[in-house]
Amino acid sequence: MDIIETIKDQIENNTVLLYMKGSPNAPQCGFSQRATQALMACGEKFAYVDILANPDIRANLPAYANWPTFPQLWVAGELVGGCDIITEMHESGELETLVKGAVAKAEA
């Protein structure tokens, strides 16, 4: 399986997926830390991929997503955005609505 197929598979098989530096319990940059805090506040489980441990994904995901930076949040197969968008959505309550809705739909 080539790297683009791997990325597609990860996005398709995880309702809420965060591509980040490090892990939710040990983020390796401030942007990833803010993104995980906002996601954790939604109260739903989410998958993550540590791009520092996966250099092929780190190199290829920006072109696939047409989004140059990390972290990247994907919900129900759609790119939500990076840290600023995640933070803004969290502050407005949109993030929790989106995440809980996607998880409920996936479980149904």
Query: 46: annotated binding-site residue?
Result: no
According to DSSP H, which parts of 14-68 are helical? Answer: 30-40, 55-65
Residue 98 near residue 75 (C-beta atoms within 8 A): yes
Q: Residue 71: which of 58, 83, 53 has the closest Cα? A: 83
Query: Is there a cis peptide before residue 27, judged by omega within 30 degrees of 0?
Result: no
Query: 31: annotated binding-site residue?
Result: no
- CA dist 61 and 34 (Å) reads 20
Tell me if residue 86 falls in helix, strand or coil: helix
Query: 83: annotated binding-site residue?
Result: yes
Query: 29: annotated binding-site residue?
Result: yes
Binding-site residue numbers are: 21, 29, 58, 70, 83-84
Binding-site residue numbers for [2Fe-2S] cluster are: 29
Binding-site residue numbers for glutathione are: 21, 58, 70, 83-84
